[in-house]
């Protein structure tokens, strides 16, 4: 899974991303260039541009002359993240709802979402927490991708990484099979009603993180 991609900086960036999203790198800990360069067997320049990449996706934050670290989240930032998420997901839902006029969506559109739901079911069944997190994230990504608006999809994918990082450390608790049930219901509701169910769903998520939505 430590796939070798095209260029060295993509490899390093992918590896760092995986380490951050798996929690192997703690929140707030600085990422020093020289040790990373030594560890990956690349030059500092390469590490440096890999870190700049990650900074673009929000997985690390950098400041001049102080370097990169994976950002800790406070409640305000979690709420801000969720605002952006609501913007993207509700617009996607609205696009889909308008496109199909409240009727059930074609099988071709539903298939990827169903696949993601299946993955979520399996992850919850196995009690694999990390995989559940990833699968949950994949369900939302699939829903947004179904809208077929590439820029919304891209923005959401970026956001998704940051969100995974947040959820990885906030660790909201769900009952067995609850996530899959909840999202199957969401999918049905969105087909009939469009964006509003998505908003409710996201507000619920935020509440479970202990952050009451403000006016």
Partner DNA sequence: AGGGCGAGGATTGTGTAACAATCCTCGCCG
Partner DNA sequence: CGGCGAGGATTGTTACACAATCCTCGCCCT
To the nearest whole angstrom, how small is the minimum distance from the Cβ of residue 63 to DNA? 7
- Establish if 201 lies at the interface with a copy of itself (CB under 8 A): no
Among 149, 157, 167, 189, which residue sits at the site for a copy of itself (rule: CB under 8 A)? 149
Residue 84 interacting partner from DNA, a copy of itself, none (CB closer than 5 to 8 Å by kind): a copy of itself
- Establish if 60 lies at the interface with a copy of itself (CB under 8 A): no
Compute CA 97 distance to the chain's CA centroid, rounded to the nearest angstrom.
23
Number of H helices, E strands in the chain: 9, 3
Show contacts with a copy of itself in window 162-191 (CB under 8 A).
Answer: none
Distance CA 133, CA 128 (A): 9
Q: Which is nearer to a copy of itself, 99 or 181 (CB)?
A: 99
Window contacting a copy of itself (CB under 8 A); options: 32-40, 79-87, 166-174, 175-183: 79-87
- Residue 14's alpha-carbon distances to 5, 9, 121, 194, in angstroms, are 9, 8, 27, 35
Asked whether 210 and 79 are in contact (CB, 8 A), the reply is no
- Establish if 48 lies at the interface with a copy of itself (CB under 8 A): yes
Asked whether 52 and 18 are in contact (CB, 8 A), the reply is no
Strands (E), the chain: 30-31, 61-63, 67-69
Of 77, 36, 41, 92, which Cα lies nearest the Cα of 169?
A: 77
Asked whether 195 and 90 are in contact (CB, 8 A), the reply is yes
Residue 95 interacting partner from DNA, a copy of itself, none (CB closer than 5 to 8 Å by kind): a copy of itself
Q: Which is nearer to a copy of itself, 181 or 213 (CB)?
A: 213
To the nearest whole angstrom, how small is the minimum distance from the Cβ of residue 198 to a copy of itself? 12
Question: Which residues of this protein are in contact with a copy of itself, per CB under 8 A?
Answer: 6-7, 10, 45, 48-49, 52-53, 56, 64, 77, 80-81, 83-84, 86-88, 90-92, 95, 98-99, 149-152, 155, 215
């Amino acid at each position: 899974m430590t796939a070798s991609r095209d260029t060295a900086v993509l490899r390093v960036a992918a590896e760092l991303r995986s380490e951050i999203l798996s929690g192997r790198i703690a929140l707030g800990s600085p990422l020093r260039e020289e040790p990373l360069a030594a560890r990956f067997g690349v030059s500092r320049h390469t590490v440096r541009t890999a870190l700049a990449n990650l900074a673009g996706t929000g997985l690390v934050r950098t400041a001049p002359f102080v370097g990169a670290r994976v950002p800790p989240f406070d409640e305000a930032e979690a709420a801000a993240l969720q605002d952006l998420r609501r913007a993207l997901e509700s617009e996607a839902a609205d696009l889909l709802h308008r496109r199909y006029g409240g009727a059930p969506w074609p099988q071709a559109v539903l298939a990827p979402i169903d696949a993601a739901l299946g993955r979520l079911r399996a992850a919850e069944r196995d009690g694999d927490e990390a995989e559940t997190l990833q699968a949950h994230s994949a369900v939302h990504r699939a829903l947004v991708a179904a809208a077929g608006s590439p820029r919304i999809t891209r923005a959401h994918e970026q956001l998704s990484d940051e969100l995974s990082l947040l959820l990885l450390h906030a660790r909201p608790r769900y009952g067995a099979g609850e996530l899959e049930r909840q999202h199957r219901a969401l999918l049905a509701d969105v087909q009939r009603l469009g964006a509003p169910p998505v908003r409710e769903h996201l507000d619920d998520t935020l509440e479970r993180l202990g952050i009451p939505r403000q006016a």
